[in-house]
A = this chain, B = another copy of it.
Amino acid sequence: MQDRVMDGEALAAFLGREFPQVAADFAIEELTADGIVMRLRVAERHLRPGGTVSGPSLFALADVAVYLALLSRIGPVALAVTTSASVDFLRKPEAGRDLIGAARLLKLGRRLAVGDVLIRSEGAAAVVARASMTYAIPPRP
Query: Which residues of A are in contact with B by a Cβ distance under 8 Å?
Result: 18-19, 21, 45, 48-49, 54-57, 59-60, 63, 81-91, 106-107, 111-112, 114, 116, 118, 127, 130, 132, 134, 136
Q: Are A88 and B106 in contact (CB under 8 A)?
A: yes
With a CB–CB cut-off of 8 A, which chain B residues contact A49? Answer: 18-19
Distance in Å from the Cβ of A77 to the closest Cβ of chain B? 14
- Beyond the given pairs A88-B106, A91-B107, A116-B130, 15 more chain A to chain B contacts, judged by CB atoms under 8 angstroms and listed by A's residue number, are A55-B82, A55-B85, A56-B59, A83-B89, A83-B112, A83-B134, A84-B84, A84-B88, A84-B134, A86-B86, A88-B114, A88-B132, A111-B111, A132-B132, A134-B134
- Cross-chain pairs A/B with CB under 8 angstroms, 11 sampled: A55-B63, A59-B85, A83-B88, A84-B88, A85-B87, A90-B107, A106-B130, A111-B111, A114-B130, A116-B116, A134-B134
Q: Are A82 and B89 in contact (CB under 8 A)?
A: yes
- A55-B60 contact given A86-B86, A90-B114, CB 8 Å threshold: yes
CA A107 to CA B127, docked complex, whole Å: 8
Pick from B54, B60, B136: contact of A112, CB below 8 A: B136
With a CB–CB cut-off of 8 A, which chain B residues contact A87? Answer: 84-87
Pick from B48, B55, B84, B112: contact of A86, CB below 8 A: B84
Chain B residue nearest in CB terms to A126: B107
